Amino acid sequence: MTVVQKTDYLNVEMFSRFAPRPGRRDLLPPLTPKAQVALMCRMLFAEGWDDHIAGHITVRQPDGTIFTNPWELAWDEVTASDIVTLDGDGQVLDSDWNVTPALGLHLQLHAARDDIHVVIHNHPKWSGIWANLQETPPIYDQAGAYCGVELPIYNEYLGTLDSDDCSQNAIESLGAGKWALLAHHGALVVARDLRQAHLRAATLEWRCRRAYEVRLAGGAEPLPDDVVEQVSLPDPNGFPFLWEAMARRELRRDPTVLD
């Protein structure tokens, strides 16, 4: 048995230095690509990306199609069979579910950057506080430092993200970045694969929560930027085995996510 269950859309190169150990169990059962996306919805809901039916995840496939969650369902009830396939223009190919018109930002991001295969947007509680404050949250601990220092704020609120002009402005503000706070709105995370996206989304919400808790407690000295860079994970794909652990947690909670 292998230590890591290899799948098409979870980058496993980072595990090459971890030698397989005979007798070890696989970390996950075989997962279809749509099951991976459904699990991602559940995992991020548990991390606080949970504003009712708001928010959307898109995952570009090798053939250029895009998987996304349906508009009608909250992230904690999505199953594999609910995941919708879109073409590059956002037309639904295989589902009776609807998709939000705010997917325009996602489609433009996928088109603008070859390195982006996952785009996540929602209105999490803690990052939403800092988005409303239009401030960048300081970093106070190791878990908040996993993804580095830079966190841009897109502060030109032009309404909902179903406007092409608004979406284009947001893309330009993000630049080559990995995430952003959307002023008076929410948070945006982009990544090359699900594992990297999960770490970024979880780290962003943790960082924002801790920063607000420290502020409420009276404040403290944040970690210097050079220390954050030393603490941040050296592999851009993230924390070894974390994605699998959080996926197993969701499978224990509700195995029907794979249906």
Per-residue tens of pLDDT for the chain, all 259 residues: 333 344 444 544 443 444 445 556 789 999 999 999 999 999 999 999 999 999 999 999 999 999 999 999 999 999 999 999 999 999 999 999 999 988 988 999 999 899 999 999 999 999 999 999 999 999 999 999 999 999 999 875 555 445 555 556 667 767 778 999 999 999 999 999 999 999 999 999 999 999 999 999 999 999 999 999 988 886 666 788 899 999 999 999 999 999 9
Q: Would you state the pLDDT for residue 154?
A: 87
Domain membership of residue 3 (yes or no) is no
* In-domain check, residue 142: yes
Residues 56 and 121: beta-carbon distance below 8 Å: yes
Predicted local confidence at residue 8, as pLDDT: 46
The neighbour count for residue 81, using CB atoms within 10 Å, is: 13
Would residue 125 count as lying in a domain?
yes
Question: What are the Cα distances from residue 222, in Å, to 2, 181, 227, 232?
Answer: 41, 19, 10, 15
User: Does any domain span residue 210?
Assistant: yes
Q: Note whether 241 and 27 are within 8 A (CB).
A: yes
Residue 4 lies in a domain: no
pLDDT for 1: 31
Is-contact 181 187, C-beta < 8 A?
Answer: yes
Q: Are strands 66-68 and 56-60 parallel, antiparallel or unpaired?
A: antiparallel
Question: What does residue 57 show for φ and ψ, rounded to 5 degrees?
Answer: -120, 130
pLDDT value at residue 164: 55
According to the model, what pLDDT value does residue 11 have? 45
The residue written with tokens 């954050």 in the block is 228
- Residue 151's nearest CA partner among 206, 218, 217 is 206
Query: What is the C-alpha to C-alpha distance for residues 37 and 234, in angstroms, rounded to an integer?
Result: 25
The predicted pLDDT at position 158 comes to: 55
Note whether residue 8 is domain-resident: no
Q: Is residue 7 part of a domain?
A: no
Domain total of the chain: 1
Work out whether strand 153-154 and strand 179-182 pair parallel, antiparallel, or are unpaired: parallel
What is the model's pTM? 0.87
Q: Evaluate whether 104 touches 162 at the Cβ level (below 8 Å).
A: yes
Q: What domain range is 133 assigned to?
A: 13-258
pLDDT at 16: 40
What is the structure's pLDDT at 234?
A: 66
Residue 4: the pLDDT is 38
Residue 1 lies in a domain: no
For residue 78 the two structure tokens come to 């999505």
Q: What is the CATH number of the domain that holds 27?
A: 3.40.225.10
Tokens read off for 252 = 């224990």
Nearest to 59 by CA among 190, 230, 240, 239: 190
